[in-house]
Amino acid sequence: MRSDGPDRNNEVKGQPSYATGGRPPQKEVWRSMLIEGINEPKLVRGGGQCPCKGLKEKNILELEKLKEIVVSLNNEIENGALVIVEGPKDAKALKEIGVRGRPYLYSHNSDHIELFNRAINAKKVIILVDNDKEGKNICKKLISEFGSKGIKYDVWYRRQLYYKIGKSMITHLEELSSVIKKFE
């Protein structure tokens, strides 16, 4: 009888052989892990590492990004920047994540003369309105108005909070605290 290779039912030269084509059955893997006291790596369906393994590190990185944004925003405010938000809930959300200062609460009913007087006296205006339809319209309107009057404005923080930290999952500033809780 001719043999093309080692008999899989017998161990050859100290190598275990298995009926599953060279891989140990799942039960054998778990048994060896229990006997040897190994907790990592955990096998999941389809093999490989546990998909949640890098999740904690990723969340820490996201929180670090958020902290950097808050520190940078606070520096801007200390240097004379004016922050514009849509309402008191947004102002409260900024305060909860550590932003100091009092943002200007903007709505369609706001006194535009007061806003532009404050904007002209500020080093720059940071627009942090919501990322919903109304917020996007307000943002476009403010960019147009500030641009036509030569007022320096900034939407970088808005992009960072909604698209980098919030991953486009949030549309309102008040939702930031839920994202932070998810990261912790």
Residue-wise pLDDT for 86-104, tens only, equals: 999 999 999 988 999 999 9
pLDDT number for residue 14? 52
> Cis peptide leading into 103, omega within 30 of 0?
no
* Domain limits, the chain: 15-53, 55-183
With 80 as the cut, is the pLDDT of residue 49 above it? Answer: no
pLDDT attached to residue 180 = 72
More confident residue, 86 or 182: 86
Among candidate residues 107, 98, 36, the one with its CA nearest the CA of residue 73: 98
Would you give the DSSP letter of residue 173?
A: G
Tell me the pTM: 0.67
Long-range Cβ contacts of 30-39 (<8 Å, 24+ apart):
none
| Over residues 28-44, mean pLDDT | 47
What 3-state DSSP class applies to 101?
A: coil
Model confidence pLDDT, tens digit, residues 128-176: 999 999 999 999 999 999 999 999 999 999 999 888 777 767 888 888 8
Mean pLDDT for the stretch of residues 57-76: 85
In the chain, pLDDT over 70 holds for what percent of residues? 65
Going through the chain in order, the beta strands assigned E by DSSP cover 82-85, 104-105, 125-127, 153-154
Fold held by 55-183:
Dna Topoisomerase Vi A Subunit; Chain: A, domain 2 (3.40.1360)
Instruction: Output the pLDDT for position 182.
Output: 65
**pLDDT at position 1 over 50:** no
CA 168 – CA 174 distance, rounded (Å): 14
Give the burial string for 161-182 (b: 16+ CB within 10 Å, else e). bbeebbeeebbbbbbbeebbee
